[in-house]
Amino acid sequence: MRFVHSGFYENLLMAFDTLRQHKLRSFLTILGVVVGTVTVIVIAAFVSGIDSRVSKEIESFGTNSIYAFKFDPGFNFNPSMEERTRPPLTEEDANAIRVECVNCEYVSPFMSPVDFVAGPFTERVNVRNKEIEMTNATVQGAASDYFQMGVTNLAEGRYFTATEEAERGTVAVIGVDVANTLFPYSNALDQDIQIEGRNYRVIGVLKEREIFLIGAEDPNNENKAVYLPFKTIKQLYPANEDCFIMATAKPGKMNDALEEVKNILRRTRKVPSDKPNNFGVQTSDQIIQQFGAITSGIFILMVAISSVGLLIGGIGVMNVMLVSVTERTKEIGVRKAIGARSIDIITQFLIEAATLTGLGGVLGIVIGVLLSLLIKMILPTYIPLWAPIVGFCISVGLGVVFGLLPAWKAARLNPIDALRYE
């Protein structure tokens, strides 16, 4: 065992000696490995960071949440004609779920005159406070149940009540950006804002919510939200029929609640028994899983692209090792003449190749980690423990794979011919 360790140590020293003698050649050889490893680390950090943040964002809406939409579930940015012509979900649908779904705790319809699917390029609602106007606020209507789901957090004030909702109360709960824009020098509570020429009294201001994946001007930015009672917004925008429904399942009753919601909506929307649903229902876990599948696909694609750099680095290692075999023909002959076996020669050259790519891997990991930390200042990144380990193993494995041919060629040299080589 000591002999084995001693042989490995000697081969490792010889490998570093070879690298020292050919610094520029060695650096250029491992450059592809460095680039490939850096790319893998940065991509892994970015995708993992995005995945983690999205999961936390969705979970902030509650892990027991159920969402019902007009469109089919999933990240569908191009609904079919059949989906577009479906009847909208209504307040009556939400009320039916609230009354009949025994495994649901809270149920709320949700509506906005802004198209959440189309995003920031849709018609906006102007919100005013006397002479100050905000053109990028998002007016949304929800039932009082919505605020019991833990989706939003108050900084000050209160939410509107079920009575205020039923009586179409002219009250509003606003996001922090709305409060700061319309009331820069005073407290927003108990003051009036104007929407479509009507006054609404501010009764609550939401805590600032970190913006993630969406732009500051996106209608889904809650900091720019203005919440009105659902019946109030229906009165304000009577032509707007589309809404979605959000419900929360009782603890441990998610599957039962999900089936109940589907059955209730099929009945209220008069879906024939032999026809598929004309609505979409999704849970928080399903949304997280779907997004995870998307990020996994992106990660695999990007790693495949980055592997080009690793392949180039591997080919460079093979070329360098082939040149090294030619340059050290006489050395190989001497070693074989004094008793070195073919396996010893193969081991020597494989260790040298693995050392070359391993150094490239270590350098790539260091640079990749530093770049990920810089990117973290702008975008969420998270470096999983497996990323540096896998990056290093791939780089070392690359040296072994692409070093096999040069090592085999060196081991096959005839010692007599090798000693005669000039």
| Residue 256 confidence (pLDDT) | 92
CA distance 291 to 209: 21
- The count of other CB atoms within 10 Å of the CB of residue 251 is 8
Asked if residue 218 lies in contact with residue 120, where contact means CB atoms within 8 angstroms, the answer is yes
Look at residue 336 and give its three-state secondary structure. helix
| Residue 61 confidence (pLDDT) | 63
Look at residue 25 and give its three-state secondary structure. helix
> pLDDT per residue over 171-196, tens digit each?
999 999 999 999 998 999 999 999 98
pLDDT one digit per residue (tens) for the chain, 422 residues? 333 444 566 666 666 666 666 666 677 777 778 888 888 888 888 888 877 777 676 666 667 888 998 887 766 667 777 777 888 888 899 999 999 999 999 999 988 776 544 444 344 678 988 888 888 888 889 998 988 887 888 999 999 999 998 899 999 999 999 999 999 989 999 999 999 889 999 999 999 877 655 444 554 577 888 999 999 998 888 877 778 899 999 988 989 999 999 999 999 999 888 888 888 888 878 877 777 777 777 777 777 776 776 777 777 778 777 777 776 667 767 776 777 677 777 777 788 788 888 888 898 899 988 988 888 877 778 788 888 888 888 888 888 888 777 777 766 665 555 455 55
- The count of other CB atoms within 10 Å of the CB of residue 99 is 11
| Residue 99 confidence (pLDDT) | 92
CA distance 407 to 398: 14
| Residue 171 confidence (pLDDT) | 95
| Residue 288 confidence (pLDDT) | 76
| Residue 328 confidence (pLDDT) | 67
Residue type at 331 in one-letter notation: E
CA distance 258 to 385: 36
Query: Smallest Cα–Cα separation from 208: which of 148, 142, 135, 155?
Result: 155
Q: Which helix (DSSP H) or strand (DSSP E) does residue 373 occupy?
A: helix 342-375
Give the Å distances, CA to CA, from 94 to 269, 299, 342.
Answer: 12, 39, 78
Give the Å distances, CA to CA, from 128 to 196, 226, 227, 339, 410.
Answer: 9, 12, 15, 92, 81
Angle subtended by helix axes 23-59 and 386-411, to nearest 10: 150
Pairing, β 244-249 against β 65-69:
antiparallel
CA distance 153 to 83: 34
Asked if residue 29 lies in contact with residue 15, where contact means CB atoms within 8 angstroms, the answer is no
Look at residue 225 and give its three-state secondary structure. strand
| Residue 375 confidence (pLDDT) | 83
Domain boundaries, the chain: 2-56+290-420, 107-249
> pLDDT per residue over 364-422, tens digit each?
899 988 988 888 877 778 788 888 888 888 888 888 888 777 777 766 665 555 455 55
| Residue 14 confidence (pLDDT) | 65
